Amino acid sequence: MSDAQPEKSITDRVPRSVDELTSNLTLESVAVHAFLYGAAAVFLLPYLYMTTLSFQPRSTAIDGVPYWIPPEFTLEHYQFLFENSLIIDWTINTFIIAGGATVLILIADSMIAYSLSRLDWPGQGVILGIIVASFMVPYYLNIVPLFTIIADLGLVNSYWGVVLPAVASPLGVFLLYQFFKDIPDEYEEAARLDGFSNFQIYTRIILPLARPILTALALFMFVFNWNAFLWPLVVLQDNASFTLPIGLVSLLNAQIYRPGRTMAAALIASIPLLLVFLVLQRYLVRAVEMQGVTE
């Protein structure tokens, strides 16, 4: 993405005449930059406000003046959260749920994608069709019956109750199937002549070739499951079993209005993801772009 096609950027950059050169550099260019950077500022202000509030004592947070730099600096909200709330438990829960779901999704999705794209068996077309059609099913249609099933299985309040339904998502199957079926047969034929088993072809040929798309899918699923809101809200009913998003909202029910404390919790809940995002952004961008291309 960042390395845009040179052909285009060159033609876009070469002005046709002196007139166009000056107009491009002055009015239009200034307007475009103002628009883009103005929008960027609007996008950044909520982050700044959240951070500033989280480091302010309650007295300055509710004195009616919004500060963009804390007038008085304090760590009391963070200290309170770590000492008197379950935020550490919530963080651990969120890591286990998001991480566990991601690992299971990668294994299950890549296995069935291998089966659908590289193996030949009767009925696979029908099964692929059903999985693709299930994209049409809105997620929320299922929550009531799904909850009764989870309850019957005794999985309410458990990690599994959140993780297992996440594995049923068809998105990864479809993305991986698209990629796997385009891998040339020659690799596989050569491997079969060398006596490779399915498992060896899968682990030594398919998975290594698919590493970029697997990384993108993993990152997308980790973020998605870290952030999931409604389903964990339904399944996790005990304070200690909450994920960060659910625990965060439970903090709003406090008797006294303390915006600093909820902002500190919000920051703790976002920082791992924002860091992952900054480092691995291109994979996440790739995952989003792929969704745009496949539909």
Partner 1 sequence: MSIRDQLSGLTETEEGRRRQSIGALDRETIAGYVWALPYLAAFVVFLLWPLFKGLWMSAHDWNPLLPSESEWIGIQNYVELMSDPFFWNALWNTIYFVILTVPAMVVLSLALALGVNRNVKGKTALRTIYFSPYVLTIAVVAIVWLEFLSTDFGPINYYLDLLFGIRIEWLTSELFAMPSLAITTVWWLLGFNFIILLAARQNVPGRLYEAARLDGASSWRQFRDITLPQMRNALLFVVIIQFIYQFQVFGQPYVMTGGGPSESTRTIVYYLYQSAFNQQSYGYAAAIGYILFAILVGISLVNYYVIGGNNE
Interacting residues with partner 1 between 99 and 138 (CB under 8 A): 107-109, 111-112, 114-116, 119-122, 124, 127, 130-131, 134, 136-138
Dist CA 225 CA 52 (whole Å): 28
Q: Which residue in the block uniquely carries the two structure tokens 């004592």?
A: 57
- Binding pattern to partner 1, positions 73-92, x when CB under 8 A? --------------------
* Region near partner 1 per CB under 8 A, out of 72-80, 182-190, 204-212, 273-281: 273-281
Smallest gap, in angstroms, from Cβ of residue 111 to partner 1? 5
Considering only 88, 141, 190, 240, the residue that binds partner 1 (CB under 8 A) is 141
Considering only 162, 206, 214, 266, the residue that binds partner 1 (CB under 8 A) is 266
Dist CA 216 CA 243 (whole Å): 23
Q: Which of residues 156-195 bind partner 1 (CB under 8 A)?
A: 164-165, 167-168, 170, 173
124-133 vs 171-180: helix crossing angle, rounded to 10 = 130
Measure Cα distances from 138 to 135, 153, 267 in Å. Answer: 8, 23, 30
Total site size for partner 1, rule CB under 8 A = 104
Smallest gap, in angstroms, from Cβ of residue 83 to partner 1? 21
Give which of 96, 94, 75 is closest to 86, Cα–Cα: 94
- Binding pattern to partner 1, positions 48-67, x when CB under 8 A? -xx--x-------xx-xxx-
Give which of 113, 236, 214, 115 is closest to 165, Cα–Cα: 236
Asked if 110 and 293 count as a contact pair (C-beta separation under 8 A), the reply is no
Q: Does 209 bind partner 1 (CB under 8 A)?
A: no
Q: Which residue in the block uniquely carries the two structure tokens 């891998």?
A: 183
Rounded to 10 degrees, what is the CA torsion of 54, 59, 60, 63?
130
Q: Which of residues 214-243 bind partner 1 (CB under 8 A)?
A: 223, 226-230, 234
- Shorter beta-carbon distance to partner 1: residue 187 or 202: 202
DSSP letters, 66-90, are --SS-SS---HHHHHHHHHSSHHHH
Instruction: Locate 106 and state its tokens.
Output: 């990668």
- Shorter beta-carbon distance to partner 1: residue 190 or 230: 230
Smallest gap, in angstroms, from Cβ of residue 82 to partner 1? 18
Q: Which of residues 29-48 bind partner 1 (CB under 8 A)?
A: 32-33, 35-37, 39-40, 42-46
- Shorter beta-carbon distance to partner 1: residue 209 or 276: 276
- Count of CB atoms situated within 10 Å of the CB of 80: 16
* Region near partner 1 per CB under 8 A, out of 12-20, 69-77, 81-89, 181-189: 12-20
Q: Which residue in the block uniquely carries the two structure tokens 């919004």?
A: 66
* Region near partner 1 per CB under 8 A, out of 70-78, 81-89, 209-217, 279-287: 279-287
CA atoms within 13 Å, Cβ hemisphere of 107: 7
